[in-house]
Amino acid sequence: MKINILQWRYSPFFMLLGFSLLGISTANAAINCTATMSDMSFGNVYPQSTQTDSTATLSYKCTNGASETVSARVCFSIGSPGGANRRQMQNGTANRLNYELYQNFPPSTIWGSQFFGPKTPLVITPITIPANGSFSGIATMYGRVQGSQVALIPGTYTSNYGKSDTAITVNERSGSTAPSSCATNTQADQFDFRVQARVIDECKITTIGALDFGSIISASTPTTVRSSANLINVTCSKGIPYNIGLSPSNGNVDGLGVMKNIANTDTVPYQLQSDASGTVWGNRDVTSTNVGKGVTRIGTGVVQGETVYATVANTDVKPGSYSDTVTVHVNY
């Protein structure tokens, strides 16, 4: 009988278990901020004006949920609706009004976003909040509609900023010194607001020179004179119908006036006309919706010159200089 004796052998293997107790900052994600932005209304905007300014107000509140003092760099980003690189309000699909949002006034620093839209500096707010405390503040946003956008048609223009167009980031740490840069992770709360303006019908009038008959021989036959092509200059908003009436100083609505000589009592009658064929140009029944005896046009946003004709029928008067003043009426 044979017995096999088995010998168990083992080698001791010691695994050291241990841990290092690290100091975990209670300031990690301790601060939460919420914000609201008021709508920015530019009110009435005139296409031929230099610019139009307005403001809106950002109101925010940050709460420290930690049991120690925490300091933070709070950054409010504003992009552009749809991620566009230019800020524009829209009226329909084709009509756009250029504007910009700024952090200061006079405007120089654009209020932009670190994530989208204009890549410009943000409004950054360093704050220190005691344990379980809060901090509230406001910031003014300045807006400017660029001037001389003469191709604009009248109407209401809007730009809507949703929560996908804005962001709040909080970079924080324990103590009383805030980080010097913005965080890269956004908080859940964003803010929305609207930018709005109303482009107004506008017409501007200027005159250049005079309708001058020059020298006429006394008792000569009727004389017709034509002005330069820009004696009357009218600039009206694009697409706006307007009617032009002319009134001599005597108030005659059919464009029949008289020129006077300050040295004597003689007068020289004349007739205002809109063309060489003698069509009367007066102010009878001329309104914004009726051309009457005036001239009708459609605004283009740029200056449109008008030529005026006039006929003198009787010059059997004493020699001298004769003149009159005509008032231009633009109805729109």
**Residue 267's CB: how many other CB atoms inside 10 A?**
16
Exposed, middle or buried by CB within 10 Å (0-12, 13-18, 19+), for 25? Answer: middle
Residue 7 has a pLDDT of: 34
**Sequential DSSP letters for 193-220:** EEEEEEEPP-EEEEE-S--------TTP
Residue 27 has a pLDDT of: 37
Which of 87, 90, 193 minimizes the C-alpha distance to 146? 87
**Residue 102's CB: how many other CB atoms inside 10 A?**
20
**Sequential DSSP letters for 19-61:** -------TTTT-EEEEEEE--EEEEEE-TTSSEEEEEEEEEEE
Q: Which residues pair with 113 in a beta bridge?
A: none
List Cα–Cα distances, 117 to 78, 145, 193, 238, in angstroms: 8, 18, 16, 30
Q: What is the pTM of this model?
A: 0.76
Residue 41 has a pLDDT of: 98
* End-to-end Cα separation, the chain, in angstroms: 129
Which residue matches tokens 């200089």? 321
- List the chain pLDDT tens, one digit each, 332 residues: 333 333 333 333 333 322 222 222 333 579 999 999 999 999 999 988 889 999 999 999 999 999 999 999 999 999 988 777 789 999 988 899 999 999 999 999 999 998 876 678 889 999 999 999 999 999 999 999 999 899 899 999 999 999 889 999 999 999 999 999 999 888 888 999 999 999 999 999 999 999 999 888 887 778 899 999 999 999 999 999 999 999 999 999 999 999 999 888 899 999 999 999 999 999 999 999 999 999 999 999 999 999 999 999 878 888 999 999 999 999 99
The Cα 187–Cα 169 span in angstroms is: 6
Residue 249 has a pLDDT of: 97
